[in-house]
Amino acid sequence: MKYVQLVLANLGRHKLRSILTIASVALALFLFASLRSVTTTMAAAAQFGGARRLVTLNATGLVFPLPLAYGNRIKAMPGVTGLSWANWFGGRYGDGKNFFANFAVDAESYLALYPEIVMPADQKQAFLQDRTGAIIGDRLISQFGWKLGQNVTLQGTIFQGDWTFKIDGVYHPTDPAIGDNVLIFHHDYFDERIGRAGIAGWYIVEIDDPAHAPQIAKAIDDLFRNSSSPTKTGTEREFQATFATMWGNVSFLMSTIGLAVVFAILLVTANAMMMSARERTGEIAVLKTVGFSDRLLFTLVMVEAGALALTGAAIGLGGATLLYPAIKFNGAGFLPGFKVATSTLIIGALVALGLMLASGLVPALRAARLPIVQALRKVE
């Protein structure tokens, strides 16, 4: 422990240099953590989905509705324990610059199928009894400064006209993939206003046992195979995963950039650390003369490099971990539940150790192997 003072004194000699080195390591690892979190958050969203929930869509494509009449036929199938349906609304609020998702659902059954949507019982009751009411995620209420009980008007882009809803409740999703920036309203009211077209965008099917999912999905699709609107049924997780794949190679790009960033800054930092170690040849010779062993000097130089790298890493990784939840970052709605995963922290710590080795090993070896006589010749 008595050597801690020595290491600290060495670090404090060029305060500016130590601070800049720590800052650049911190920035590198902050960026690394941020970029990798984009990938892990997208992967986590793709993993979302109740094991007992299936989603039935029109086989022709996402934008084609299914007849509302399918509901009763699906419900009557063996193994199906619950059913709800929803329709994408795509309304625009204000100038449309702040986009958020909004859709019509069969409220009672939908809320029963999604226990992840949590709100006070009285608000839920008020929503179920108010045909033109809506519930919203808690992010929306702070984003737009709305109040409970207020009327909100959306302009329909797919279904024309002004649609006014009373905010009956504010929910908080226990699973970030549900989205806290969504407006949900009654499908029955929606259906009435579009002239009882009797359409549902998708069905959510609750089944008795996750193990039966493949058979039930196939049975549903077989039932409608020769109808006007054939269906495509899959688990909710598969449904979510298709959204994740829509990003294309974005996660690959993010990881590549992350690597380049880390590598670039580490190169520069390691270089600076090695250069500063080289200046101290004379000092090390003096320490050796006084009786410091080769091994001890090796350790001291490595500890110094490690102190710089690990402090920087702690600031960078810790900063990223704390910053994103604090500002409720969600990537403009595209990355719900954005957070730095534990695996990212571990990899970041390993990168810092790697930096310590890369920047400390050469000077430390030189220090350990330094012949005293030769080194002292250079001292003034």
Partner 1 sequence: MIPIAYNVRSVVQRPVSTALTALGVGLVVAVFIGMLALANGFSAALAKTGSSRNVLVLRKGADSELSSGLGRDVSSIVAADPHVATGADGRPLVSPEVYVLIPLAKSFDTTQIANVVARGISDQAWQVRNNVTVTAGQKPTSGRPEVCVGSRLTKRFPHTGIGQTLHFAGRDWSVTCHFTAAGSAFESEIWGENEQFMPVFRGEVFQSITFRLKDPGSFAEAQRALQADKRMTVDAHRESEFYAQQSQLLGRILSFLAVMITGIMAVGAVFGAINTMYAAIASRAPEIGVLLTLGFRPWTVLVSFLAESAFIAAIGGLLGCLFSLPLNGIVTSTTNWSSFSEIAFSFRVTPALLLVGLVFAVVMGIVGGFFPALRAARLQVVQALR
- Contact footprint for partner 1 (CB under 8 A): 14, 16-17, 20-21, 23-24, 27-28, 30-31, 35, 59-64, 90, 92, 96, 155-158, 160, 230, 242, 245-250, 253, 257, 260-261, 263-265, 267-276, 278-279, 332, 334, 380
210/331 with CB nearer partner 1: 331
Tokens 């130590």 belong to which residue? 18
4/264 with CB nearer partner 1: 264
CA-nearest of 327, 282, 336 to 100 is 336
| Least Cβ distance, residue 261 to partner 1 (angstroms) | 5
CA-nearest of 32, 154, 57 to 103 is 154
75/237 with CB nearer partner 1: 237
| Least Cβ distance, residue 273 to partner 1 (angstroms) | 8
195/248 with CB nearer partner 1: 248
| Least Cβ distance, residue 127 to partner 1 (angstroms) | 26
5/226 with CB nearer partner 1: 226
| Least Cβ distance, residue 64 to partner 1 (angstroms) | 7
34/109 with CB nearer partner 1: 34
| Least Cβ distance, residue 205 to partner 1 (angstroms) | 20
| Least Cβ distance, residue 253 to partner 1 (angstroms) | 7
| Least Cβ distance, residue 260 to partner 1 (angstroms) | 5
Per the CB < 8 A criterion, the answer to whether 89 and 103 are in contact is: yes
114/239 with CB nearer partner 1: 239
Burial class of residue 4 (count of CB atoms within 10 Å of its CB; 0-12, 13-18, 19+): exposed
Per the CB < 8 A criterion, the answer to whether 187 and 105 are in contact is: yes
Look at strands 117-118 and 101-105 and give their pairing: unpaired
CA-nearest of 197, 206, 198, 201 to 184 is 201
